[in-house]
């Protein structure tokens, strides 16, 4: 018995999660284990009704589950950032989901914008640090009349860099990135462990040639960790360079480990070269706590309730969820089912088909039970 929390969220979220649930239930039946689902009413509707985003009671209850299956968040009635930070990021930070796992794998039947590349060329995993870097929320915007604060900034620039910052400027903004030795060490170790199970090759992403303090520490920890894995080859790539190589030679990569901000950027590029955001899943993982699995696309409010949204990224996220729970055969079968639906043309209109959201889920569920 595996207990799983279910959060549909906003927009198309409830529809794609429903489709994913049908598929995972079929996989559970096929491979003879049980999934017990518990739904949570968390999202825009509740926020607009009660003012609540994510309560302590929510966190306490969700913390009882090894996994959360999450749909999408975001609603045009709510100012951008409120739901995303108050719910999604809050969940990641509250449960210390320090691994963001993004498979970049081209499935049979999909189309990549990269010329002459096939599924044999695009099959790697990005391991993104998920709780540090520039996303820790340390920053501010200072108005010109806040002389005291601006003087502090001016002094910092003057002493540290020999630069002059006009204190009479209308406004100044700053954001501070933070990387700790512990935070870098645990995600880099996870990536080395994963590489050991795959092709024994790990690429680290940073920008240490310019942001030398924060990413210099990242490099130091990476090299120290590499000594413990002599059988895994390793290399460095600056973030601007890796965007070029993802496009030119995606076949070069096996496992890529990256700080938070760069991971956020390059995984969207990865999603596009594997066939689009409609096929891109993500896992927010705490190996020793509550983890969360979701598609990386948004909530697409204009398609809410129309049963036309593409559920494949959500179903793939469900495969990651099953793998995390130890049901590896079931997870692999779900992924094969996704490939079968693409191959047979059982796809939504964004991929050139005519199937509905629920129709895709039902078809994959049926395929899993028959194969």
Write a three-state SS string for 180-243.
CHHHHHHHHHHHHHHHHHCCCEEEEEECCCCCHHHHHHHHHHHHHHHCCCCCCEEEEEEHHHHH
pLDDT of residue 269: 96
Mark whether 202 and 116 lie in a shared domain.
Answer: yes
pLDDT classification of 277: cutoffs 50, 70, 90:
confident
**CATH at 93:** 3.40.718.10
Mark whether 224 and 265 lie in a shared domain.
Answer: yes
* 84 domain residue, yes or no: yes
* 80 domain residue, yes or no: yes
Beta-carbon contacts of residue 56 (< 8 Å; ≥ 6 apart)? none
Residue of 268, 303, 350, 362 marked active site:
268
Mark whether 25 and 122 lie in a shared domain.
Answer: no
Check whether 165 has a pLDDT greater than 90: no
Mean pLDDT of the chain: 93
Q: Domain limits at 155?
A: 138-174
Average pLDDT over residues 12-29: 98
Residue of 215, 264, 304, 323 marked active site:
264
What is the per-residue pLDDT across 285-342, written as a single tens digit (0 to 9) for each? 999 999 999 999 999 999 999 999 999 999 999 999 999 999 999 999 999 999 999 9
Q: Comparing C-alpha atoms, which of 129, 101, 121, 134 is closest to residue 245?
A: 121
Check whether 241 has a pLDDT greater than 60: yes
Which of 252, 274, 296 is the C-terminal boundary of a domain? 274
Mark whether 263 and 119 lie in a shared domain.
Answer: yes
Mark whether 313 and 289 lie in a shared domain.
Answer: yes
pLDDT of residue 90: 93
Reply yes or no on whether 58 is catalytic. Answer: no
* 246 domain residue, yes or no: yes
* 365 domain residue, yes or no: yes
Mark whether 128 and 217 lie in a shared domain.
Answer: yes
* 105 domain residue, yes or no: no
* 104 domain residue, yes or no: no
Mark whether 162 and 213 lie in a shared domain.
Answer: no
The whole-model pTM stands at: 0.91
* 106 domain residue, yes or no: no
Check whether 10 has a pLDDT greater than 80: yes
Reply yes or no on whether 207 is catalytic. Answer: yes
Mark whether 269 and 311 lie in a shared domain.
Answer: no
pLDDT of residue 176: 85
Residue of 96, 201, 207, 362 marked active site:
207
Query: What is the number of structural domains in the chain?
Result: 3
Check whether 146 has a pLDDT greater than 80: no
Residue of 240, 248, 328, 329 marked active site:
240
User: How many Å apart are CA 106 and CA 99, to the nearest integer?
Assistant: 22
pLDDT of residue 173: 76
Mark whether 303 and 233 lie in a shared domain.
Answer: no
Mark whether 310 and 341 lie in a shared domain.
Answer: yes
Residue of 47, 69, 135, 215 marked active site:
135
Mark whether 123 and 142 lie in a shared domain.
Answer: no
Which of 241, 274, 307 is the C-terminal boundary of a domain? 274
Min mean pLDDT across 39-53, 163-177, 313-327 is at 163-177
Please give the biggest Cα pair distance in the chain: 72
Min mean pLDDT across 108-112, 184-188, 203-207 is at 108-112
Alpha carbon 78 to chain centroid, angstroms: 22
Mark whether 204 and 349 lie in a shared domain.
Answer: no
CB atoms closer than 10 angstroms to residue 1 = 7
* 249 domain residue, yes or no: yes
What is the per-residue pLDDT across 47-74, written as a single tens digit (0 to 9) for each? 999 999 999 999 999 999 999 999 999 9
Q: Comparing C-alpha atoms, which of 101, 311, 129, 70 is closest to residue 58?
A: 70
Helix (H, G, I), strand (E, B) or coil at 139: strand
Reply yes or no on whether 264 is catalytic. Answer: yes
């Amino acid at each position: 018995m595996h207990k799983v929390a279910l959060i549909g969220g906003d927009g198309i979220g409830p529809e794609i999660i429903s489709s994913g649930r049908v598929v995972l239930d079929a996989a559970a039946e096929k491979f003879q284990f049980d999934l017990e689902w518990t739904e949570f009413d968390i999202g825009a509707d509740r926020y607009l009704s009660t003012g609540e985003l994510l309560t302590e009671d929510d966190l306490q209850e969700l913390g009882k589950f090894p996994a959360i299956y999450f749909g999408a968040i975001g609603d045009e009635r709510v100012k951008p950032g409120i739901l995303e930070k108050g719910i999604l990021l809050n969940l990641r930070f509250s449960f210390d989901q320090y691994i963001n796992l993004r498979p970049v794998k081209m499935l049979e039947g999909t189309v990549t914008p990269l010329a002459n590349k096939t599924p044999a060329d695009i099959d790697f995993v990005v391991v993104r640090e998920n709780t540090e870097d520039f996303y820790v929320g340390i920053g501010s915007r200072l108005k010109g009349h806040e002389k005291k604060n601006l003087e502090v900034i001016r002094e910092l620039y003057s002493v540290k860099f020999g630069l002059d910052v006009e204190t009479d400027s209308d406004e100044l903004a700053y954001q501070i990135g933070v990387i700790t030795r512990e935070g870098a060490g645990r995600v880099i170790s996870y990536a080395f462990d994963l590489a050991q199970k795959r092709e024994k090759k790990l690429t680290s992403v940073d920008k240490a040639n310019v942001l030398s303090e924060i990413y210099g520490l990242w490099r130091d920890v990476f090299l120290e960790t590499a000594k413990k894995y002599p059988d895994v080859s390793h290399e460095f790539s600056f973030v601007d360079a890796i965007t070029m190589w993802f496009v030119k030679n995606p076949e070069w990569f096996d496992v890529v480990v990256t700080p938070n901000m760069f991971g956020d950027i390059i995984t969207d590029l990865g999603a596009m070269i594997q066939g689009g955001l409609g096929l891109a899943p993500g896992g927010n993982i705490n190996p020793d706590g509550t983890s969360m699995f979701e598609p990386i696309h948004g909530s697409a409010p204009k398609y809410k309730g129309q049963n036309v949204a593409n559920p494949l990224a959500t179903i793939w996220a469900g495969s990651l969820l099953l793998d995390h729970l130890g049901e590896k055969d079931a997870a692999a079968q779900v992924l094969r089912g996704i490939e079968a639906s693409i191959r047979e043309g059982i796809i939504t209109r964004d991929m050139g088909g005519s199937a509905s959201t629920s129709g895709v889920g039902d078809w994959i569920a049926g395929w899993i039970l028959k194969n």
